[in-house]
Amino acid sequence: MAEPVETIEGWYALHDFRQVDWQRWRQLNASQRQRALDEWRELMETFQAVSPETGSFGLYSVFGHKADLLLLHFHADPAALMTREWAVDHTLLGSVLTRPYSYFSVVELSKYLAQGLTEEAARASFRGRLEPKIPDRAYCCFYPMNKRRQGQDNWYMMSRDERRELMKNHGIIGHKYHQEVIQVITGSQGLDDWEWGVTLFSDNPVSIKKLIYEMRFDEASARFADFGPFYLARRITSGDFTTHLALPDA
């Protein structure tokens, strides 16, 4: 059996996608709408007030038909993420939001990157990666992915050294874009339908496009990567969203 690579886990991640049911929203009277907007502002303030020692939160507007909102949470306690899901569901606005997609995972650091370090030393050295603060970047891209298990292109039958060399080359491409794109890798084996989640943050969506395109030519992606749906979103404030809902023609 090929030797698995050990990982070090950090904060948990919840990508909570929501979509507005406009027909149900329009059925609310003026008083109900105002109550819904007030509740939403209060809840978003609660999410934003999470202690930086235990988590971080970001609100995004999603491009296209797949969703309207992304509520992105990182937190040390997985139960806290479930509480946040329920908190949205129990608001009046939550009753007019559907949930087209969600993804639960945990921030993961391969010990490839922590060679020679004890786990304690690695946690100290890579704390910023294991406990990510959502960066102040305008755009966020999320997608899940698997490593392929087909014939000769079976990632899990390769030796540890072969996989390490492929990921080293993969990382070289990523490093070219490290000033333009910040990435957070989360593991989800046994937690969700895919094996990893990738979240990219940038002020320029073209930088995200170029990074992903160039990586497609790398052997680790070209031979071994299968990708799920891509979601691109722009960071907003709760006020941006409530203003959108309050428009007369909304």
12 is catalytic: no
Q: Which of 12, 101, 103, 143 is catalytic?
A: 143
Distances (CA, A) of 182 to 71, 157, 174, 175, 204: 18, 30, 9, 10, 11
For CA atoms 42, 43, 45, 50, the dihedral sign is: positive
Q: Decide if 198 contacts 121 (C-beta within 8 A).
A: no
| Cβ within 8 Å of residue 43, ≥6 positions away | 87, 88, 91
Structure tokens belonging to residue 132? 């990510």
| Cβ within 8 Å of residue 76, ≥6 positions away | 11, 12, 54, 55, 131
What are the phi and psi torsion angles at 64 (to 5°)? Answer: 85, -165
Buried b (16+ CB within 10 A) or exposed e, 210-220: bbbeebeebeb
Of residues 120, 124, 131, 130, the one with CA closest to residue 53? 131
Residues tagged active-site:
143
